[in-house]
Copies of this chain bind each other. A is one copy, B any other.
Amino acid sequence: MEVDFSMQECLLRHGIKPSLQRMAILGYLSVTRTHPTADEVYNALHPALPTLSLTTVYNTLKLYAERGVLLLLLVDEKNVRFDIDTGRHAHFQCIECKNVYDIQIENRDALYKKEVDGMKITETHLYYKGHCKACLFNEK
């Protein structure tokens, strides 16, 4: 993999030393838009990076979440998923194929409040569940 300086800078900006493994994981998250689980990240990178361990994937994803590089997605009952896109958007998970898709939010400012009832808000999450186009089509 070529060295991507923008990714290195991204990590340094968050106070994270850019190791080979960390760069690979960040690279994968940046390229895929599938909101992968830790296991999916591991399985995707393992062939090209045989020494990579699942532990390192977990360590790295946890570190990224703590430093605000990415967001935890709690949309799947089974696994935590990860989203490198920290911008204001919603998610949709198909209850058949389990895929997660991004969705635009219309009136963001009404949703992304700073506080409610005296509680200080640091994160806002909106997600939908249902049937995606592909699964609806296959049922016909």
Contact = CB atoms under 8 A, between A and B. Distances in A.
A33 interface: no
A15 B19 CA distance: 56
A67 interface: no
Interface stretch (A2-10, A22-30, A48-56, A99-107): A99-107
A129 interface: yes
A35 B65 CA distance: 25
B121 A130 contact: yes
Contacts of A92: 116-117, 119, 121
A133 B5 CA distance: 42
A136 interface: yes
A119 B133 contact: yes
A132 B107 contact: no
A20 interface: no
A125 B127 contact: yes
Nearest to A73: B74
Interface of A: 72, 74-77, 80, 92, 94-95, 101, 103, 106-107, 110-111, 113, 115-133, 136
